[in-house]
Amino acid sequence: MSRINLFGRDQSASLRVTYGLLEQRVNLLYQYPRLHGNPNLSIGISGGYNNSQDVTTYAASKLEFGLRLTQHFNGEHQLLSKANVFIYQFIFRRVKVDPDSIRVPLDEIPLLSQATRVGGPSFGWLRDTRDSPLDAHRGTYTSFQEFLASSKFGSEADFNELDISNSSYYEFHDGKMVVARNTRYGQERAYGDPGEELIPLPERLYAGGGNSHRGFGINSAGPRDPQTGFPIGGAGAFINSFEFRMPPPTLPYVGKTVSFVLFHDMGNVFTNASDIWPSFLNFRQPDREGCRNLTPGPPTGPITSTGQQGTCSFNYFSHALGIGARYRTPVGPIRVDFSYNLNPPIYPVTYDSLTNMNLTNPYVGEGSHFNFFFSLGQSF
């Protein structure tokens, strides 16, 4: 639901409600373009509530308020070209993990599920030279976001987050073939009093899924809880995806509406951002014997911003090869991807979060080699 031309001016307000089994969302947005008559400046005020389960480990709720100033560069004598957009924000939100949904040991639940205020300034930069946002054949797209959560702004968690993504597209054979690449780098640095630098579960970096690393399920890449084996996110992420999009063949019944792609995804999520580059040449998971340690009880490894570590390391680059099909529609391609992970991780499972007891028969879990995704639009 939306209302335009509020107060007889070029202002608008919109309300969006989504309700499903895995997500419930209410968002309210007020926009004031042409701030002080400047066509390149607009201001927006947003607020909303979101309750969702984006990862198998927990369901989280988020109550958020944001104030945003957007700067475009249209017209002559501008500092940058019109392909660039700057976004200045102040974000304040309250995040909370449902303690009945979290799949970690009982003694960790009070610490990880407590409601946490997160607030601070954010700066974003977008640069888009693509010929089509839904199905690009040429051009680039860059996204840069810096967010500082600080107690000076009322935040109960102190950390700095940097997330950068860049995509490029090259067409060949009169535009019938496209080579596409996307690279994402993310890092979080906690600071403050020692022992109070735990990054809340919903604020950590995640990867995996149809629009990320297709060698993993949704948000399942990287570190896992040392006892239950469920994904817990990390403070560093690096993902690189490469696609070769082939011209559509002529097929019975569907003609040239279906095309195929070959892809390679690589990368992972890491406990610390400093683990990314030393792990670049690690094709296999290091110290797999530590991942076969089925000794029950709390982990005894180092304490980091993502919690107490166990004996299992995820500091390596996971690689996946795959093939996909794209069915062209007026609103964008319908996408089906099938991948094979060449080196999925293993991890110990010694605790049952449903019964809150150590397993009598602990075992070594393993990520799936085969993964399947169905979605709308290109992967990037």
pLDDT at 194 (0 to 100) = 60
- Number of folded domains in the chain? 1
Q: Residue 109 is inside which H or E element, if any?
A: helix 109-113
Range of the domain at 363: 2-376
CA distances from 249 to 93, 121, 155, 245, 246 (A): 49, 49, 55, 12, 9
Cβ-count burial of 300 within 10 angstroms (0-12 exposed, 13-18 middle, 19+ buried)?
exposed
pLDDT at 8 (0 to 100) = 60
Helix (H), strand (E) counts: the chain: 2, 19
Task: Encode the chain (380 residues) as per-residue pLDDT tens digits.
Answer: 777 666 666 788 888 888 876 778 899 999 888 888 888 999 999 999 999 888 889 999 999 999 999 999 998 777 788 999 999 999 999 999 998 899 999 888 888 888 899 999 999 999 999 998 888 999 999 999 999 999 999 999 999 999 999 999 999 988 789 999 999 999 999 987 766 688 999 999 999 999 999 999 999 999 999 999 999 999 999 999 999 999 999 888 888 899 999 999 999 999 999 999 999 999 999 999 999 999 998 898 888 999 889 999 999 999 999 999 999 988 889 999 999 999 999 999 999 998 999 999 999 999 999 999 999 889 99
pLDDT at 176 (0 to 100) = 83
pLDDT at 160 (0 to 100) = 96
Instruction: Please enumerate in sequence order all residues whose Cβ is within 8 A of that of 188, keeping only pairs 6 or more positions apart, or say none.
Output: 159, 160, 161, 162, 199, 203, 204, 205, 235, 236, 273, 305
Task: Tell me the C-alpha distance between 114 and 106, whole Å.
Answer: 13
Question: What would you report as the CA-atom Rg of the chain, rounded to the nearest whole angstrom?
Answer: 22
Instruction: Please enumerate in sequence order all residues whose Cβ is within 8 A of that of 256, keeping only pairs 6 or more positions apart, or say none.
Output: 248, 249, 250
CATH of the domain at 9: 2.40.160.50
